[in-house]
Chain A
Amino acid sequence: MLDDLTSKLDGVLKKIRGQGKINDKNIDESLREVRRVLFDADVNYKVVSKFISDVKEKSLGQNVLTSITPGQLIVKIINDELIKLMGSEKAEIKFSDRIPSVIMMVGLQGSGKTTFSAKLAKYLKAKGRNPLLAACDVYRPAAIEQLKILGKQAGVPVYSDLEEKDVLKISRDAIQYAKENARDTLIIDTAGRLAIDDEMMNEVSKIKDALQPEEILFVVDSMTGQDAVNTAKAFHDKLNYDGVILTKLDGDTRGGAALSIKAVVNVPVKFAGIGEKLDAIEQFHPDRMASRILGMGDIVSFVEKAQTEFDMSESGKLEEKLRKNKFDFNDFLSYMNQIKKMGSLSSLISMIPGANKMLKNQEVDDSALTKVESVILSMTNKERENPNLLNGSRRRRIADGSGNPIQQVNRVIKQFEDMQKMMKQFNRDKGRGLMKKMKLPANLMKEFKA
């Protein structure tokens, strides 16, 4: 997408080459493309207009250096401006000395409050807090039950009162319960509500007044369109919340809503939900969101994820083997397991800039890994250690044993040989840090185009 934008802008700006400067005339057409990109990413139209005029101002009169294209220059200005707008600091959850510190989650229906409450509880627990969840959604059928189940999965107790319909009373009782049970953090899950529903907005407002939460978090679906600003603003007017939570960011939305909300209410996005599992939560990185809105991919998150998940001792062993050129099918298998730990191939690929483009529209088949695995597992130990043994009849036996056609077996062996070659190459260039290593899964992924 970024490449797209850059090349489009270059096309538009070709004529600048001779002129050497970005001027009023040549920039208008290119900014039209930028507008389109921002609208396609769901950035609010007001924010877009303001943004475009800022970028125009910054771009005018800029000298086009010989080393970069005018398109690249404008994209750089846009990126810088976006980062400036998003902010660059990570924001933390506020706590006080009060027992318990209160965090209240609010938002529209279906934004992901209940799931995120449980994720946050688990996250804070791991940080050494002692959280309690309070089920204050008395409207949606089975919402309380949902929170109870999630609380159990997170290993965090849930306060609920199925008989009580008064949400204010439930939340007060939850505070009492927290005090009696030495819980230092209370996370209140509230019902989804429309910003224009006065009665329901008054309900959360009352909880706010009575409990004085240390932190009110507005939960918003990252796929939200232009309406994000209306809702964010209406909730902010009423509750003056402290942070925004962006959910379902593991989808393929560009998430322009995040930018719009930041621009309109100037409250930091604190966390993002990035999957259905309870540990799929991460601190929000505003600078990375800028690249995502422009479609640059999220290479930094990718590397970080790789860093935490890639078992260092395992990879050390792997390196040792590589040095000795002893990479066999057993190592291939363990290498694949390492990759699997990092998440689905498709989600990994979505984080690599340009990867989606590289793979065009070919679907990445996550089950391909399983197929490869089944082939390797049908080999004998000797075959795995010494792939040279794999002659025709052995290959046929493996095909039958693993329930794959013989072509699949041949393909896996070919992939393995390619990988061996890559490994040797890698071995020669080693010492360039993790970034280098990450090329391996990228290459491997290429093999798994469905």
Chain B
Amino acid sequence: MSFLDKIGLKKLKDGLNKTKENLVGKVNRLVNARGVIDDDFLVELEEILLASDIGFETSEKLIEKIKERTLTDKYVDQDELNKLINDELKRVFYDTTSEFKTFDFKSEIKPFVIMVVGVNGVGKTTSIGKLAYNFKNAGKSVLIGSADTFRAAANDQLDIWAKRAGVEIIQSNSSSDPASIAFDTIKSGLSKNTDVIIIDTAGRLHNKTHLMEELKKIKRVMQKVIPDAPHEIFIVIDSTTGQNGLNQAKEFSNALNGLTGIILTKLDGTAKGGIVLKINKEMKLPVRFIGVGEQIDDLQVFESEKFVEAMFGK
């Protein structure tokens, strides 16, 4: 039985509870109040959608779809409407198959190198702690490289997470070059035949050219040891993030020649993280994991079906 099954959907649903109430509650009230899908209804529906950060265009397209589908039959009941929105939202999600749908993924590649990037304060270090814990629990050996040499005490923070997860960590003492730490970590992981290597990087705003150059360099030096590393590059997106999230994903992707997935954090708050729909659609970049709390087991493999279901309810 995989670790995930044990958690099930409960936590996600708990976390998204507020969200669910907001959206479903509002849509329900709206349908009850009007009973008919007319222009006013659509205006109000648009506001509900916009409030979830999915963006003007995505919302506009959804409304168009709903208009089309309700054109013949003006009256739609609550359940039907929920299903309709549900279906359309799921359709917005672009799905990709990845090496791992679960933490105990099978891979020929060893060590499997994951690089984690993102802007400041989104929860990279915490997510890495949780990732390491989950991989470890799934029976993998894990090595973390602490290449955030900039933020004060970032090292200590990651070190505490590594201890909690019970995994090894490589960090700098005096060196201030993140690339050299990444290099050392990959080398060490290779010699120890580690299953998974996770490289943490300092938070950086995506419009700072010199910091993006640094990121490129970290990637380059890893490739000196393992030419096709990193095998995954995850961008961490805070679910409170607005439309800027798309810029973030684009710029990090440009700098690193592509990203492979999103870790969507802080979904236990009131924010809905709707920007990932837009990122997912425009960049064909899937959400891989979601963070739903501050505890070490508060990270889940993302499944769009379940996400949309939890978001909108049945």
Interfacial residues, chain A to chain B (CB-CB below 8 A): 35-36, 39-42, 44-46, 49, 108-112, 139-143, 145-150, 153, 194-196, 221, 223-228, 230-231, 234, 247-248, 250-254, 256-257, 276, 344-347, 350, 363-367
Chain B residue at minimal CB-CB distance from A141: B160
**Closest CB pairs A-B (n = 7):** A225-B242, A110-B121, A42-B242, A146-B153, A149-B152, A227-B271, A141-B160
Instruction: Check if B210 sits within 8 Å of A250, measured CB to CB.
Output: no
Q: How far is the CA of A46 from the CA of B48 in the complex (A)?
A: 10
Instruction: Check if B242 sits within 8 Å of A253, measured CB to CB.
Output: yes
Interface-located stretch among B62-70, B193-201, B262-270? B262-270
Given known pairs A142-B156, A149-B152, A276-B150, the reply for A346 and B207 (CB within 8 Å) is: yes
Interface centre among B52, B153, B155 (most CB of A within 10 A): B153
Please name 7 pairs of A and B residues whose Cβ atoms are closer than 8 Å in the assembled complex, sorted by A. A42-B53, A110-B120, A195-B269, A248-B119, A346-B207, A350-B207, A364-B209
- Supplied contacts A112-B120, A250-B205, 10 more A-B pairs, CB within 8 Å: A35-B56, A40-B55, A42-B53, A142-B154, A142-B155, A146-B154, A195-B269, A226-B51, A253-B242, A344-B209
Instruction: Check if A226 sits within 8 Å of B119, measured CB to CB.
Output: no
Q: How far is the CA of A49 from the CA of B151 in the complex (A)?
A: 40
* Min CB–CB distance A434 → chain B (angstroms): 25
* Min CB–CB distance A342 → chain B (angstroms): 14
Given known pairs A226-B53, A346-B209, A364-B209, the reply for A221 and B161 (CB within 8 Å) is: no
Instruction: Check if A227 sits within 8 Å of B272, measured CB to CB.
Output: yes
Which residues of chain B are within 8 angstroms of A350 by Cβ–Cβ distance?
Answer: 207
Instruction: Check if B242 sits within 8 Å of A149, measured CB to CB.
Output: no
Interfacial residues, chain B to chain A (CB-CB below 8 A): 18, 47, 50-53, 55-56, 119-123, 150-157, 159-161, 205-210, 213, 238, 240-245, 247-248, 266, 268-272, 274-275, 294
Instruction: Check if A110 sits within 8 Å of B51, measured CB to CB.
Output: no
Instruction: Check if A225 sits within 8 Å of B243, measured CB to CB.
Output: yes
Instruction: Check if A196 sits within 8 Å of B18, measured CB to CB.
Output: yes
Instruction: Check if B207 sits within 8 Å of A45, measured CB to CB.
Output: no
Total number of residue pairs linking A and B with CB closer than 8 Å: 166
Instruction: Check if A139 sits within 8 Å of B50, measured CB to CB.
Output: no
With beta carbons under 8 angstroms apart, the residue of A223, A234, A257, A365 that contacts B119 is: A223
With beta carbons under 8 angstroms apart, the residue of A40, A141, A367 that contacts B243 is: A40
Instruction: Check if B205 sits within 8 Å of A221, measured CB to CB.
Output: no
Q: How far is the CA of A350 from the CA of B270 in the complex (A)?
A: 32
Given known pairs A108-B240, A139-B294, A225-B240, the reply for A367 and B50 (CB within 8 Å) is: no
Instruction: Check if B152 sits within 8 Å of A150, measured CB to CB.
Output: yes
Q: How far is the CA of A316 from the CA of B305 in the complex (A)?
A: 66
Instruction: Check if B243 sits within 8 Å of A146, measured CB to CB.
Output: no
Q: How far is the CA of A252 from the CA of B120 in the complex (A)?
A: 13
With beta carbons under 8 angstroms apart, the residue of A39, A146, A147, A344 that contacts B50 is: A39
* Min CB–CB distance A224 → chain B (angstroms): 5
Which residues of chain B are within 8 angstroms of A247 by Cβ–Cβ distance?
Answer: 121
Which residues of chain A are within 8 angstroms of B121 by Cβ–Cβ distance?
Answer: 109-112, 221, 247-248
Instruction: Check if B157 sits within 8 Å of A40, measured CB to CB.
Output: no
Chain B residue at minimal CB-CB distance from A191: B294
Instruction: Check if B268 sits within 8 Å of A194, measured CB to CB.
Output: yes
Chain B residue at minimal CB-CB distance from A220: B240
Instruction: Check if B53 sits within 8 Å of A227, measured CB to CB.
Output: yes
* Min CB–CB distance B196 → chain A (angstroms): 21
Which residues of chain B are within 8 angstroms of A230 by Cβ–Cβ distance?
Answer: 270-271
Which residues of chain A are within 8 angstroms of B240 by Cβ–Cβ distance?
Answer: 108, 221, 224-225, 227-228, 231
Which residues of chain B are within 8 angstroms of A147 by Cβ–Cβ distance?
Answer: 152
Instruction: Check if A140 sits within 8 Å of B269, measured CB to CB.
Output: no
Which residues of chain A are within 8 angstroms of B213 by Cβ–Cβ distance?
Answer: 366-367
Which residues of chain B are within 8 angstroms of A364 by Cβ–Cβ distance?
Answer: 209
Which residues of chain B are within 8 angstroms of A248 by Cβ–Cβ distance?
Answer: 119-121, 205
Which residues of chain B are within 8 angstroms of A225 by Cβ–Cβ distance?
Answer: 53, 240-243, 245, 271, 274-275
Which residues of chain B are within 8 angstroms of A39 by Cβ–Cβ distance?
Answer: 50, 55-56, 243
* Min CB–CB distance B200 → chain A (angstroms): 13
Instruction: Check if A365 sits within 8 Å of B209, measured CB to CB.
Output: yes
Which residues of chain B are within 8 angstroms of A110 by Cβ–Cβ distance?
Answer: 120-123, 238, 266
Chain B residue at minimal CB-CB distance from A43: B242
Q: How far is the CA of A322 from the CA of B266 in the complex (A)?
A: 56
Q: How far is the CA of A141 from the CA of B146 in the complex (A)?
A: 15
Q: How far is the CA of A40 from the CA of B247 in the complex (A)?
A: 11
With beta carbons under 8 angstroms apart, the residue of A40, A44, A46, A112 that contacts B56 is: A40
Interface centre among A40, A109, A143 (most CB of B within 10 A): A109
Interface centre among A224, A226, A366 (most CB of B within 10 A): A226
Chain B residue at minimal CB-CB distance from A36: B56
Which residues of chain A are within 8 angstroms of B243 by Cβ–Cβ distance?
Answer: 39-42, 225, 254
Chain A residue at minimal CB-CB distance from B248: A223
Instruction: Check if A251 sits within 8 Å of B206, measured CB to CB.
Output: yes
Instruction: Check if A366 sits within 8 Å of B206, measured CB to CB.
Output: no
* Min CB–CB distance B250 → chain A (angstroms): 10
Which residues of chain B are within 8 angstroms of A276 by Cβ–Cβ distance?
Answer: 120, 150
Which residues of chain B are within 8 angstroms of A153 by Cβ–Cβ distance?
Answer: 152
Q: How far is the CA of A296 from the CA of B160 in the complex (A)?
A: 44
Interface centre among A40, A223, A346 (most CB of B within 10 A): A223
Which residues of chain B are within 8 angstroms of A234 by Cβ–Cβ distance?
Answer: 270
With beta carbons under 8 angstroms apart, the residue of B53, B210, B269 that contacts A194 is: B269
* Min CB–CB distance B102 → chain A (angstroms): 27
Which residues of chain B are within 8 angstroms of A345 by Cβ–Cβ distance?
Answer: 209
Chain A residue at minimal CB-CB distance from B210: A366
Interface centre among A143, A227, A228, A366 (most CB of B within 10 A): A227
Instruction: Check if B244 sits within 8 Å of A251, measured CB to CB.
Output: yes
Interface centre among B151, B157, B240, B294 (most CB of A within 10 A): B240
Which residues of chain A are within 8 angstroms of B55 by Cβ–Cβ distance?
Answer: 39-40
Instruction: Check if B157 sits within 8 Å of A347, measured CB to CB.
Output: no
Which residues of chain B are within 8 angstroms of A231 by Cβ–Cβ distance?
Answer: 240, 269-271
Which residues of chain A are within 8 angstroms of B266 by Cβ–Cβ distance?
Answer: 108-110, 194
Which residues of chain B are within 8 angstroms of A42 by Cβ–Cβ distance?
Answer: 53, 242-244
Instruction: Check if A45 sits within 8 Å of B156, measured CB to CB.
Output: no
With beta carbons under 8 angstroms apart, the residue of B208, B209, B241 that contacts A224 is: B241
Instruction: Check if A223 sits within 8 Å of B207, measured CB to CB.
Output: no
With beta carbons under 8 angstroms apart, the residue of A44, A196, A252, A256 that contacts B206 is: A252
* Min CB–CB distance B50 → chain A (angstroms): 5
Given known pairs A364-B209, A367-B210, the reply for A226 and B152 (CB within 8 Å) is: no
Which residues of chain A are within 8 angstroms of B294 by Cβ–Cβ distance?
Answer: 109, 139
With beta carbons under 8 angstroms apart, the residue of A146, A149, A150, A344 that contacts B210 is: A344
Which residues of chain B are within 8 angstroms of A36 by Cβ–Cβ distance?
Answer: 56
Q: How far is the CA of A69 from the CA of B130 in the complex (A)?
A: 56
Q: How far is the CA of A140 from the CA of B126 in the complex (A)?
A: 9
Which residues of chain B are within 8 angstroms of A148 by Cβ–Cβ distance?
Answer: 153
Which residues of chain B are within 8 angstroms of A221 by Cβ–Cβ distance?
Answer: 121, 238, 240-241
Interface centre among B119, B121, B242 (most CB of A within 10 A): B242
Which residues of chain A are within 8 angstroms of B119 by Cβ–Cβ distance?
Answer: 223, 248, 251
